[in-house]
Amino acid sequence: MMLRTITLVGALCGFAASVGAQNLDDIAVETAIKAGQDNKFRQWSAECKASASLSEKRKDGASSWTSGSVHFTGPFNVTISTNSGRVALLAAEAKRQQKPLRVADVPERFRGEGLHLLVDPIKPGKDWGRGVEVPASIDRVVLRSKTEPTAVVQPAAFDTEDTTWASDRVLVARPGGPDGKWDINIFKKSRAIAVFPVEAVRSLPAGDFDIVVITEPMGSRSEAGERACTIRASDRLRLVS
């Protein structure tokens, strides 16, 4: 399928790509910090759960979903927010960790206008009766129109990081560094952050859009995977009106 890309990927420079002309001043940052500390910032963000479709899961073969089997089809929690919402999230996390957050502590990259995307893997469950789903490595993320799927917005900035959880079972294991040790239960590139230009999102056809998490080929698969969830038109209007 030919995709009509609305904006090209910008060059990363310490994950501080310029995605808009309007920045948050100190007063706006202070307001966002207080909103985050008070947990009153839903007006600046929207959430959804990006899961693999049934057809995606069937690619592993029905007979492979057995007790103890591991499948790289795990879902992701996705949060998309304005710059104010991103600062509020930062403040909420600082409060949870009982750390102070001042206006001067807020990185410049969070002040610039843009839609900030956070993709977090969901911890695998403990019931292995019919197999367990773990997160695949994330290759990229895009926004895709529901009404015109060929209309796609690419991020101006994008990065990934690894995730790990304590578990009494080995879910994944890979050879580590030159010391010969193995990396146990480290899910490579399973968390992502991205920034999308506001004007590019406005340029998408009217209506709902999908957040699409494209994953790398994993395990026995030779092709990329896809996890998607929908941001409704009403939430879109709140974020980019």
**Run of H or E including 37:** helix 26-37
Residues facing 158 on adjacent strands: 194
Cβ atoms 114, 52 nearer than 8 A: no
pLDDT attached to residue 8 = 30
Question: H or E segment at 186?
Answer: strand 186-196
Strand partners, 81: 45, 116
Domain span including residue 235 = 4-19+44-81+114-240
Asked if the structure places residue 29 within a domain, the reply is no
Cβ-based burial of 94 (10 A; exposed 0-12, middle 13-18, buried ≥19): middle
Of 121, 155, 35, give the one whose Cα is nearest residue 86.
Answer: 35
Residue 157 in any domain: the answer is yes
Is 94 part of any domain? no
Of 184, 175, 89, 71, the C-alpha closest to 128 is: 71
Give pLDDT tens digits along the chain (241 positions): 334 443 333 333 344 444 433 689 999 999 999 999 999 999 999 999 999 988 887 777 766 778 778 889 999 999 999 999 999 999 999 999 999 999 999 988 889 889 999 999 999 877 766 788 899 999 999 999 999 999 999 999 999 999 998 877 777 877 766 666 777 889 999 999 999 999 999 999 999 999 999 999 876 666 788 999 999 999 999 999 7
Q: Please tell me the predicted confidence (pLDDT) of residue 188.
A: 93
Domain contains 148: yes
Using DSSP bridges, classify how beta strands 138-145 and 225-231 pair: parallel, antiparallel or unpaired: unpaired
Give the number of domains in the chain: 1
- Lookup result for tokens 């610039």: 112
Distance CA 227, CA 198 (A): 23
What is the per-residue pLDDT for 1? 39
Distance of CA 15 to the CA centre of its chain: 15
Nearest to 82 by CA among 19, 176, 159, 175: 19
- pLDDT at residue number 62: 65
Examine residue 160 and state whether it is found in any structural domain, yes or no: yes
Instruction: Look at the block and give the residue holding tokens 């050879």.
Output: 175
The C-alpha angle with vertex 212 and arms to 201 and 205, in degrees rounded to 5, equals 35
